[in-house]
Amino acid sequence: GAGVSQTPSNKVTEKGKYVELRCDPISGHTALYWYRQSLGQGPEFLIYFQGTGAADDSGLPNDRFFAVRPEGSVSTLKIQRTERGDSAVYLCASSLSVRGNTEAFFGQGTRLTVV
């Protein structure tokens, strides 16, 4: 597609439920990133992929969070046993490489609300 696509745009779920957030990066971009943006804050890094492998998952807050990118393109962020504190906008970005001289393109995010 023309840009990074994230679905759904908004998701409301009950506390304790499982959710999946999808990111479809720009075609040909090998690097894919997930960030979480809480209300009134800047985005915080969660994980990034170089191809199919998670190159750095140091930002995942706990073992309820998991992300996959099985074919090196679409990625899914999975959250188990959701808590109200997980409510945030989850942003995905992709770039041609992981170097700083390549631009990261962001999607419009998924706003997750846990009630």
Partner 1 sequence: AQTVTQSQPEMSVQEAETVTLSCTYDTSESDYYLFWYKQPPSRQMILVIRQEAYKQQNATENRFSVNFQKAAKSFSLKISDSQLGDAAMYFCAFQGGGTASKLTFGTGTRLQVTL
Determine the Cα–Cα distance for residues 6 and 28; give it in Å rounded to an integer. Answer: 17
Question: Binding marks (x or -) toward partner 1, 29..58, rule CB under 8 A?
Answer: --x-x-x----xxxxxx--x------xx--
Q: For residue 25, say if its preceding peptide bond is cis, omega within 30 degrees of 0.
A: no
What 8-state DSSP symbol labels residue 41?
S
Told to check if 59 binds partner 1 by CB under 8 A, we report yes
Told to check if 76 binds partner 1 by CB under 8 A, we report no
CB-based contact 36:90 (threshold 8 Å): yes
Compute the least distance from the CB of residue 100 to partner 1, in Å. Answer: 4
What 8-state DSSP symbol labels residue 85?
G
Chain positions contacting partner 1, by CB under 8 A: 31, 33, 35, 40-45, 48, 55-56, 59, 89, 91, 93, 95, 98-101, 103-104, 106-109, 111
